[in-house]
Amino acid sequence: MGNWVVEHCDEYQENFVNPEEQTTVHLQDDPGASDAESSGSSIDFWLEQGLAQQQTGKFDVAQETLEKARFAAQKLDDRTREVRSLCYLGICFYSQGNYASAIAHGQQGLAIAKEIGDRLLTGQLYGNLGNAYRHEGNYDQAIDHQQKSLEILQRQQDVSGQMAALNNLGLAYKAAGNYESALNCQKQSLILARQLGDLSTESQILKNLGNASYALGRYAEAITYYERRLEIAKKLGDHRTQGQILRNLGNACYTLADYPKAIAYSQQRLEIAIASQDYRTQEQALGSLGIAFDAIGNYRQAIEYYEQRLTLANQTGDRRVVQQTLGSLRVACYALGDYATIMKYEEQVKLGSSS
């Protein structure tokens, strides 16, 4: 009666590594420019402040703060802090989608990190550059940089860094269309996340594994990953993520013709969307429920969900969804032989087309 997937699966999620902090800094008062010439702690303050600013979306201010830290580090000839400022600047540009600037700053930082023999920073910068190259579509460079990052972090016995590098290498392989290698890397990353007890990162990796399995047509395997991720989201009380996972589970179950499970997951998703007053997700979940009930021949129940979707689409003024839902209603009514109601919906279609 219709196409189930009205939205795509979640985007893949990466790990972007910040250099480890060497000093604990309390962010109350700016120490002032004069102190910067004689105190590395002032630079640490600006580095922390700049990172906090960019994490709240204040990118212009963050860039200014981080440039101040970089200038002060250069005046002190403090190469390690200069590398950290370049790394943070790269992350700042990356977060804005300015991958060329992220790469330029990352390359400068990488050259200095190599020069001073800081292997950990070198490994982290290779990984950050790999992420930026992937977003630019330069997959060979992305894979090469992530492999170098992984090799260095393995030698440094940095388990957390290895976990990030393996996940990011998997994303680079996935972007290049090599799903088998992507799955292999992310499975290794998952083992490390579980060793560290890092539920948040485990959830990210499970998302990537589920999406890669889905792309390969391994729907049962994808469901296993999504279900484990759903358990974590419930444990963390993350309702938004639960809704995303329930969408993916519904998609996978529908594709396997497991309509009862597809319906159950979509109903759970609808409940979360109603509780959070997320009208867009409510509309999508109602559409998915209508299609699933169509698939099992329960056209009256399908019509009920389509009617709810139509009401919501009219309330939000989404003409595209209104027209799409009217089409679904006509098909369901035709299956029931309810031609009088079909005429009613056809009139609404005509009115919508002329408005």
Same fold? 10-136, 257-355 = yes
> What CATH number belongs to 257-355?
1.25.40.10
Domain 10-136: top CATH class: mainly alpha
Q: Report helix, strand or coil for 162.
A: helix
Please write the tens of the pLDDT for every residue from 122-179. Answer: 999 999 999 999 999 999 999 999 999 999 999 999 999 999 999 999 999 999 999 9
Query: For the whole model, what pTM was predicted?
Result: 0.79
Beta-carbon contacts of residue 184 (< 8 Å; ≥ 6 apart): 170
Question: Which regions in the chain score pLDDT beneath 70?
Answer: 1-38, 350-355
User: What whole-number distance in Å separates Cα of residue 3 and Cα of residue 5?
Assistant: 6
pLDDT at 5: 33
User: DSSP string spanning 232-297?
Assistant: HHHHHT-HHHHHHHHHHHHHHHHHTT-HHHHHHHHHHHHHHHHHTT-HHHHHHHHHHHHHHHHHTT
Please write the tens of the pLDDT for every residue from 212-233. Answer: 999 999 999 999 999 999 999 9
Per-domain residue ranges of the chain: 10-136, 257-355
